[in-house]
Structure 1
Amino acid sequence: MGNQLQLVPENGEEDEDEMETEDHDSENAEKPNIINFDPSLPTSHAYLGADMEEFHGRTVHDDDSCQTIPVLPHMALMLIPGQTLPLQLFRPQEVSMMRSLIQKDRTFAVLAYSDAGEQQAEFGTTAEIYAYREEQEYGIETVKVKAVGRQRFRVHELRTQADGNRQAKVQILPERILPDPLSGVQLTPLSRLHMHPCSRPAAKHCLQARRWWNRYQKRKFHCASVTSWPAWVYSLYDSEVLMNRVKRQLHEWDENLKDDSLPTNAIDFSYRVAACLPIDDALRIQLLKIGSAIQRLRCELDIMDRCTSLCCKQCQDTEITTKNEIFSLSLYGPMAAYVNPHGYVHETLTVYKASNLNLIGRPSTLQSWFPGYAWTVAQCRNCGSHMGWKFTATKKDLSPQRFWGLTRSAMLPRIPKSEGEEGEEESQHATLLGIINVQYPASCISSGDFSRDMAYLDIQFPCSPSCACICGTVRPTSA
């Protein structure tokens, strides 16, 4: 699908196809009550072909171990563990590398660059191939791949081999699992009587689920009364409470979202959310560096609360869409990675409405990422940067009839200014970067002393129960 290369006509007769038009459909468009599009279609990446060879099993490297892994070149995407990565490779060097990987452990490295001009990457993610296909057309060999992100790593050394491929010596980064902050004061016989999250009523029974959740929290944090900290402080660092708060935000994006489609493990859930957030690489690499699901969820929640709109990354003052327009048309969530016929990977966010965009050319169904929809290239009306595509249904009974797919690399999250507040977007972006300021120790914390653990992690407590940001210090209450 489209990038700037597709905007050049092959001959003069096609100039009329490259005409630039303003879009007015989105201004009066209404959100559909029912979405009848099959969300499993985008996840299958059917445009790559249906006869791909599939592999089973997975490769897991030991935590903190050093590994030498081949690096996938020319990759601008910052891969998150659990995220699917579709590829179409044409260069002989890359085709040869993939053939070699298929005979081994099918694992390669995707380096994480926080800036397009950055020469050396410090972090990255391993990717494992789970589907593979070779093609040959007009004498050009092509490899189509589906891979999935596995483990984070820190880069120690990069070297280039005689064949031009690069190898990276990396250290696998572990996930630090923090203990239950109240585990040190809970009595074992009473802890067995706690309600388990799996017994929670279905989300469709809203009132019943809310009552259940209130009872669950009251029972879980009743031991806080014998400590120096109030119960709400402990809840701010409880993985189940954080996951529940993030799910409420996700349900605002997609009313049809089913909790069953989300991971139940806090680590996997935090990565799923990170892969769906429409943030730039500077913020995403900070999330990738965090080694604890609890702190990752806290940062994600703060980002979701603060960022209310998305603007053009190039001109930085043109608003393209708002958080309220985001919705999910895929089992992956509102944003997923797709690859176009030229081999360029776009992380595409689906929204109902977008503004300040011009359409280029005519609708096309060629290798559409969303079967049943035709795409049209969209550019920023102010600076002309490529922002994504407008998708229009080819059948009248398909809902939604139209939506936008915006590429993450062209967008910048923006915090709305408060009344009387002055400052440029750079300071707002610096505020977002300031959310993630916690450094974790090299070893897992096993202490039951919550206050000591938090001091060891250099975490400051929020100023109120409703505050998710790290903005103040709470004085311990008397026991």
Structure 2
Amino acid sequence: MENEQISESVRRRIQEILKEIEVEEEEKNYDYQQGSASGHFTYDRSLAASHSYLGEAEEIHSRMGFLEGGAVLILPLFYLEGVVLFPEATLPLRAVLPSYKAAFERALKRDYAPCTIGVVCVERDIVNRRYNLATTGTTAEIKQYRRLEDGTVNVVTRGQQRFRIRRSWTDDDGALVGEVQIIREDLPLRTPWEAVGKLAPLKNLQIGGISKVRPLTGSQANPNNYEDGNDSDALSDGSFEMLLTETERKLHQSGLCSCYGSDTIDESTSSDGEKFGQDLECQPGRPQLDNGDASPGVGKTGFLDVQPCNRVDQEKYPISHLRDVPRAFWPGWVYRMYDSYSLAQKAADRWKNVVSTPSMDGFVMKPILLSFQIAGKIPVSDSTRQELLEIDSISYRLRREIELLESLDRICCKICQTLFAKRSDILVMSTEGPLGAYVNAYGFVYEILTLRKAQGIAIVGVPVRDYCWFPGYVWQVTQCITCGYSTGWFFTALKKEMRPFTFWGVTI
């Protein structure tokens, strides 16, 4: 009887263990996207964004205004491997070395540009066994400061302005110091919609020739598919000119050209076209602009066909019709390639296809900030992000980011290119986005991409609770199965009801 009771108790215990294992397997295979859609995502993303693992810190109330482009100043430099700081991005730092501590103290006591340091990315040259210091970096303002009992210093900084290093040297206390020049940021450009928003462009005509120009209709008169009267971007002459800066106005005016070398047509001449026809004779066989069918052996120019002109056509299509044709030299799509606001909207839409959090819609009317926001959060290699930091043109930076977002599909090992995850596996664990910078207890800063699941990665470390970047989780070290490179960390929740229960953090 006693043996039967023991066996029954053992059987119940085995059933309980099996049930616990089953629950854990379900939690490990938990689909993040379905869970978040059902409201099951319970982790507070603001904890990771605030870097609460650094402990309570003192807020620094001294704030530095933005410096004029071209300003030169001397700053303590912090060089970080694999980390690229952009304006408006948050960067935590931990000073363990005496030189770094001295650099922070010097930055806090500066009269000019107080509480400001310079952050530069360095690349390790394995072949020559040295570090290559980038020439373009970002100023960072100290927002929080905390000195610990062991003498180490924890700070939280925020990126401010890009700069280029003019020269650098090591100071007496061992700190790296640089003379830097603030980069003058490019101005956002607008498309001259009065010229290209409604009709097709007209190429310059050769002086001495006469054109027959028929009124454009249908898709030719509206190649951009804008509805007449409904184009919110098309502005009147007065309102458009008022919105342009001096630089934008010059670009707009340079994009407009006269049909015959002048930006204006005399009213008396353009009213009937007779006087113009008396002064210039049409030359037989000279190529002219038309939107009809091209004659045999005659090609097309722009949106209009090229045909010979005769005296009858000249009388049938007077020069007054030229006033109905836009005077932009380039097609509309060329202007849109440099329209910062159009590119900003396109980049924000592409961002939604990759990750939905945080939304970039609020930065569409601020193209330069949007370009920095995407560059600081896009999950690409540090060398590619350094390339984005060094681009001065807003339109070119946005076009490059759109290209990267459209091609982003696989997350691979940076050494052997082993596939770790796909774009759909990206998990947002911070309000600042899927890619974030974090500092460990030894002062090393890492930029990691969080994933809800991964493959080709092995867990090699034991669970550790201390100094976890995501409060409520324990972390374990991971490495690539193929090449053994340290890929990052595996995080497991301390409570079973936490969602997500597990996730990965990989360096890219």
Band of TM-score, shorter chain: 0.5 to 0.7
What is the rounded CA distance, in whole Å, between the counterparts of 2:434 and 2:99 in structure 1? 34
> Is 2:368 aligned against 1:358?
no
Which of 104, 109, 121 is residue 134 of structure 2 equivalent to? 121
Match of 1:235 among 316, 319, 336: 336
Alpha carbons of 1:94 and 1:311: their partners in 2 closer, same or farther (altered >3 Å)? same
- Residues of 2 paired with 1:90 and 1:368: CA distance? 18
* 1:99 counterpart (105, 112, 116): 105
Out of 79, 86, 89, the position equivalent to 1:83 is: 89
Q: Structure 1, unaligned stretches of length 5 or more?
A: 1-22, 188-212, 412-479
Deviation at 1:315, TM superposition (A): 1.6
SS at match of 2:346: helix
Describe the SS at the equivalent of 2:461: strand
Q: 1:383 to 1:216 in 2, by over 3 A?
A: farther
| 8 A Cα contact 2:81 2:124, kept in partner | no
Give the Å deviation of 1:371.
1.6
* Aligned-residue offset at 1:74: 5.8
What TM-score does the superposition give when structure 2 sets the normalisation length?
0.64
- Superposition deviation, residue 245 in structure 1: 2.3
Change (3 A) 1:75 1:30: closer
Which structure is larger by alpha-carbon Rg, 1 or 2? 2
Distance, in Å, in 1 between the alignment partners of 2:106 and 2:334 is 52
CA contact (8 A) 2:345 2:364 kept: no
Residue 177 of structure 2: aligned partner: 167
| Partner in structure 1 of residue 207 of structure 2 | none
Residue identity opposite 1:145 in structure 2: V
Q: Which has the higher contact order (CA 8 A, sep 6+)?
A: 1
Cα deviation for residue 221 of structure 1 reads 5.1
Aligned AA for 1:394? L
In structure 1, give the amino acid aligned to 2:61: F
Query: In structure 2, do the counterparts of structure 1 residues 231 and 260 end up closer, same or farther at CA, with 3 Å as the change threshold?
Result: closer
3-state DSSP class of the match of 1:99? helix
**Residue 346 of structure 1: CA displacement?**
0.8
Secondary structure in 2 aligned to 1:404? strand
Tell me what 1:267 maps to: 368
1:268-290 CA-to-partner distances (Å, cap 9, x unmatched) read 11111111122223212211111
TM-score normalized with structure 1 length: 0.68
Is residue 278 of structure 1 aligned with residue 398 of structure 2? no
**Partner amino acid, structure 2, of 1:383:** C
Query: Which residue in 1 is equivalent to 2:143?
Result: 130
CA RMSD of aligned residues (A): 3.0
Where does residue 189 of structure 2 map in the other structure? 179
CA distance in 2, matches of 1:374, 1:249: 34
| Change in 2 beyond 3 A, CA 1:216/1:278 | farther
Alignment of 1:190-269 (within 5 A): 218-220=231-233, 226=326, 227-255=328-356, 257-259=358-360, 265-269=366-370
Gaps spanning 5+ residues in structure 2: where? 1-24, 198-225, 237-255, 257-324
Q: Is the 8 A contact 1:125 1:152 kept in 2?
A: yes
Specify the alignment match of 2:153 in structure 1.
Answer: 143
The equivalent residue for 1:335 is 435
Change (3 A) 1:176 1:30: closer
Percent identical = 32
2:67 alignment partner in structure 1: 61
Alignment CA distance shift 1:27-1:38 (3 Å): closer
Q: Check conservation: 1:113, 1:281, Cα contact below 8 A.
A: no
CA drift of 1:259 comes to: 4.9
Q: Secondary structure at the match of 2:458?
A: strand
TM-aligned CA deviation for residue 362 of structure 1:
2.8
Deviations 1:74-99 (A, max 9, x none): 65522222211101111112112211
Contact 2:56 2:146 in 1 (8 A): no
> Structure 1: how far apart are the matches of 2:454 and 2:374?
22
1:231 Cα offset (Å) = 3.8
Alignment CA distance shift 1:235-1:215 (3 Å): farther
CA distance in structure 2 between the partners assigned to 1:251 and 1:273 by the alignment = 11
Asked whether 1:292 is paired with 2:393, we answer yes
Distance change (3 Å), C-alpha of 1:399 and 1:26: closer
Give 3-state SS (helix, strand or coil) of 2:141's partner: strand
Aligned length: 357
Following superposition, the deviation at residue 228 of structure 1 comes to 4.6
Q: In structure 2, do the counterparts of structure 1 residues 323 and 65 end up closer, same or farther at CA, with 3 Å as the change threshold?
A: same
Alpha-carbon offset, residue 386 of structure 1: 0.8
Pairing 1:310-459 to 2, within 5 Å after superposition: 310-316=411-417, 318-407=418-507, 411=508
Please state whether the residue corresponding to 1:241 is helix, strand or coil: helix
Which of 89, 112, 116 is the aligned partner of 2:121? 112
Q: What are the superposed Cα offsets for residues 353-392 of structure 1, whole Å, 9 maximum, x if unpaired?
A: 2110000223222122112222221110111111111222
SS at match of 2:63: coil
CA contact (8 A) 1:126 1:150 kept: yes
Distance 1:393 1:331 in 2: 19
CA distance in 2, matches of 1:286, 1:48: 31
CA distance in 1, matches of 2:28, 2:57: 38
Matched residue SS, 2:374: helix
| Cα distance in 2 between the residues matched to 1:243 and 1:251 | 13
- The CA distance in 2 between the partners of 1:367 and 1:345, in whole Å, is 13
Assess if the C-alpha contact under 8 Å between 2:117 and 2:140 holds in 1: yes
Equivalent position of 2:410 in the other structure: 309
1:66–1:170 CA contact under 8 A, matched in 2: yes
User: What displacement does 1:49 show?
Assistant: 0.8
Letter in 1 for 2:138: T
Change (3 A) 1:97 1:246: same
Equivalent residues of 2:116, 2:141 under 8 A apart:
yes
CA shift in 2, pair 1:406/1:216, >3 Å: farther
Q: 1:57 to 1:28 in 2, by over 3 A?
A: closer
**C-alpha spacing 1:86/1:257, structure 2 compared with 1 (3 Å):** closer
